[in-house]
Every structure is written in C-alpha cells, then in structure tokens.
C-alpha cells in the first residue's frame, strides 16, 4: 500500500504541494487514483471521438448506419460508471473520516480569525500567550485547532498539510492534523472575506518539540508580565521612544528622561513646569503643548491613538523609576 502511495505521488506529486502532514497522503492517494481514472476515461473518449470523426467524415462515408440504441452498450456504460463513481465516493468518505480523527492527547491551540489576520492563542498551566501571523507547532504531535471568527467567514487552509476548514462567526470549528516535516508552510484564508482577503496569509512554522517548548515558555513569560514598570519599559522600547530620548542623561534628539518625574523644567516661554503624571501624559499625546527650552527645533509626533489609557499608565510608572 505504501509503495502504491509513493508511486502515485511520484506520478502526480508535481501538481501538488509537498506532503508535510500525516494526513496528506490520504488525500493524495485518492487524488492519484481519480487522476488515473480520469486520464483513462478522457483519453478513451477523445480517441474514439477523433477516430469516428476522421473515419466517418462525409468524404469517406456515403451512408450512415441506423443504430437507434443498444441495450448492452447502454447497460455497460451506466453500470460501470456508477460502480466507479460510488467507489470513489466511499473512498473519499473513509479518507475524510481518517483525516479527521482527533486523538485525545492532541495539543490544543485557539485560532481567532479576523479581517485580515490570524491570531493563535496558546495555553500553558492556565497562562495564555497570543501571537499573530506565525503559528509555531511541534513536529509529530497531533494538533487540535479550536477556531472562531470575530467578524465574517474565513477559512484556515494549509496546502502542504491538505487541511481546510471554514471559520464561522458564532460557531467554533475544529481542525486536527499532525505535521511530519520541519520548516515553514503557507497558511491561506480560503473563504472570501473582503478587501484584503488575499493578504490574510500566514505561516505555520514546524519545529522540534524541544524548540517548541522553549519558544512557548518564552512567549508565555512575555505575555504574562504583570509588573507595570516592566510593561512600561517594554512599551518604551517598542514604541520607539528610545530613538529620541535617552534614560542616562545624554541628549539624542529630545531631552533625556533621566529623573524626569518630579523635575522642574524651564519652558520655551520662560515658565517653569513641574513634570508630574499629567504633564507627561500631555507631552506624549500633545507634544507641542509645552516645549522645554532649547528644543523648539524638534517636532515630536503625537502618540494619541497609538496608546490606550492603560499603556499610558504603564509608561508613566516606568518613567517614575528613572532616577
């Protein structure tokens, strides 16, 4: 059986993506068999048609034969296709059920689809971590995706795994597979979902179990930091504050933020202002409102809309610590 499977893939594999899951060959075996049946049927019919058209062309056929029907022929070409078609149908069902067997120990990942991105949520010891675009999975481990959509229909499709399942708002759909190859595999949204449907692509990265655990531990740790100062520090890095403001007293472009909290600074118009939480908040959201003396040539962009109130709070907490 395995030999036949390999032979079929050798013949028709060029028209398919690589096989990177345990399920893939179930699809490909039937694909190959239907391909052979199709080619035989098509070539047979076309040869007969071409032969008849040439042989019985009016230039070498004076009179047509009168053959209104033939019970034997009709029976043969009714019964044989019925058997073949039903055979393919039953095979297709059996393969489908095999593909969708969900092992009890399958590793569960939550997938959230939204216009136009994929979000993957992992769970470890009651702690969660969410990532987007790139889904990490361990090799040779049954995976169970628990999928939902927050807006319209989407469809989770990884050609190399031969899996596809619509993600329907208001419903949870499940999809299971086991990756058998290391590497990156394309993930597509296969159900039309609007303007950027064709941009709703992602990657499934299959890694060793060891590397997966390491990655997961790191992501869980990152996602579960609850210390506001630490969160603020990360925002400070991530939002690009460091490209203009140092924390060690040196001047990059804007004033250094070392010891900013509680500092009295002289403004451009000569007034003195105490840098408290309100002042810092205003300076982030409306940078041009009060400009520290000596920095009038520098124009900072507003971060309004890029930071929510909670994040502003973290940032202020972090800045308080910069003594």
The string of DSSP codes covering 211-250 is HHHHHHHHHHHHHT---HHHHHHHHHHHTTGGGTB-SSS-
| Min dist. Cβ of residue 147 to another protein (A) | 10
Alpha carbons within 13 angstroms on the beta-carbon side of residue 76 total 5
The string of DSSP codes covering 249-264 is S-BSSS---TT-TT-E
If the CB atoms of residues 21 and 246 are measured against another protein, the closer one turns out to be 21
If the CB atoms of residues 63 and 323 are measured against another protein, the closer one turns out to be 63
If the CB atoms of residues 159 and 313 are measured against another protein, the closer one turns out to be 159
Task: Looking at residues 278 to 297 of the shown chain, list those that interact with another protein (rule: CB under 8 A).
Answer: none
Answer for which of 3, 63, 210, 272 binds another protein (CB under 8 A) is 63
Distance CA(259)–CA(240), nearest Å, equals 19
Interacting stretch for another protein, rule CB under 8 A, among 128-136, 165-173, 215-223, 302-310? 165-173
DSSP-assigned beta bridge partners for residue 165: 156
| Min dist. Cβ of residue 135 to another protein (A) | 17
Residue of 126, 164, 125 whose CA lies nearest to 145: 164
**Per-residue string for binding with another protein, 67-106, x by CB under 8 A?**
xxxx--xx--xx--xx--xx-xxxxxx-xxx-xx------
Task: Looking at residues 13 to 52 of the shown chain, list those that interact with another protein (rule: CB under 8 A).
Answer: 15-17, 26-27, 30-31, 34-35, 37-38, 41-42, 45-46, 48-49, 52
If the CB atoms of residues 57 and 272 are measured against another protein, the closer one turns out to be 57
If the CB atoms of residues 1 and 53 are measured against another protein, the closer one turns out to be 53
Q: Per rule CB under 8 A, is residue 260 in the interface with another protein?
A: no
| Min dist. Cβ of residue 88 to another protein (A) | 5
- Residue 148, helix vs strand vs coil: strand
Q: Do residues 272 and 265 touch, judged by C-beta distance below 8 A?
A: yes
| Min dist. Cβ of residue 72 to another protein (A) | 12
User: Angle 121-124-125 (CA atoms, 0-180°, nearest 5)?
Assistant: 140
Distance CA(74)–CA(27), nearest Å, equals 33
* CA distances, 179 to each of 24, 52, 202, 263 (Å): 9, 51, 16, 57
Q: Do residues 2 and 26 touch, judged by C-beta distance below 8 A?
A: no
Interacting stretch for another protein, rule CB under 8 A, among 53-61, 123-131, 134-142, 283-291? 53-61
Task: Looking at residues 175 to 214 of the shown chain, list those that interact with another protein (rule: CB under 8 A).
Answer: 186, 188-199, 201
If the CB atoms of residues 65 and 264 are measured against another protein, the closer one turns out to be 65
Q: Is it true that the peptide bond before 78 is cis, omega within 30 degrees of 0? A: no
Answer for which of 103, 140, 169, 310 binds another protein (CB under 8 A) is 169
If the CB atoms of residues 115 and 121 are measured against another protein, the closer one turns out to be 115
Task: Looking at residues 112 to 151 of the shown chain, list those that interact with another protein (rule: CB under 8 A).
Answer: 151
Kindly give, in sequence order, each residue whose CB lies less than 8 Å from that of residue 321, ignoring residues fewer than 6 positions away. Answer: 229
If the CB atoms of residues 160 and 246 are measured against another protein, the closer one turns out to be 160
Kindly give, in sequence order, each residue whose CB lies less than 8 Å from that of residue 207, ignoring residues fewer than 6 positions away. Answer: 136, 137, 138, 139, 182, 215
């Amino acid at each position: 059986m395995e030999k036949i499977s390999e032979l079929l893939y050798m013949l028709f594999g060029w028209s398919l993506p690589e096989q990177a899951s345990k399920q893939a060959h179930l699809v490909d075996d039937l694909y190959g068999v239907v391909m052979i049946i199709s080619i035989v049927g098509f070539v047979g019919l076309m040869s007969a048609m071409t032969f008849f058209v040439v042989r019985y062309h009016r230039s070498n056929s004076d009179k047509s034969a009168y053959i209104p029907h033939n019970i034997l022929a009709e029976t043969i070409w009714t019964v044989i296709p019925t058997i073949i078609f039903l055979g393919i149908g039953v095979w297709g069902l059996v393969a489908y059920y095999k593909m969708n067997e969900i092992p009890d120990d399958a590793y569960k990942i939550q997938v959230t689809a939204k216009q136009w991105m994929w979000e993957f949520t992992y769970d470890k010891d009651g702690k969660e971590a969410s990532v987007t675009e790139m889904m990490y999975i361990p090799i040779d481990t049954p995976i169970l995706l628990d999928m939902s959509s927050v807006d319209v229909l989407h469809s989770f499709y990884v050609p190399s795994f031969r899996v596809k399942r619509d993600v329907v708002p208001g419903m949870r759909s499940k999809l299971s597979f086991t990756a058998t190859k290391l590497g990156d595999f394309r993930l597509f949204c296969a159900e039309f979902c609007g303007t950027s449907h064709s941009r709703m692509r992602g990657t499934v990265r299959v890694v060793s179990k060891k590397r997966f655990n390491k990655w997961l531990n790191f992501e869980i740790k990152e996602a579960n930091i609850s210390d506001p100062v630490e969160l603020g520090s990360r925002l400070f890095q991530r939002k690009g504050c460091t490209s203009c403001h140092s924390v060690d007293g040196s001047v990059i472009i804007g004033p250094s933020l070392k010891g900013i909290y509680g500092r009295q600074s002289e403004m451009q118009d000569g007034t003195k202002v105490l840098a408290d939480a309100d002042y810092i908040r205003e300076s982030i959201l409306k940078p041009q409102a009060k400009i520290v003396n000596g920095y009038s040539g520098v124009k900072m962009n507003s971060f309004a809309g890029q930071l929510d109130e909670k994040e502003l709070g973290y940032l202020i907490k972090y800045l308080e610590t910069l003594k």
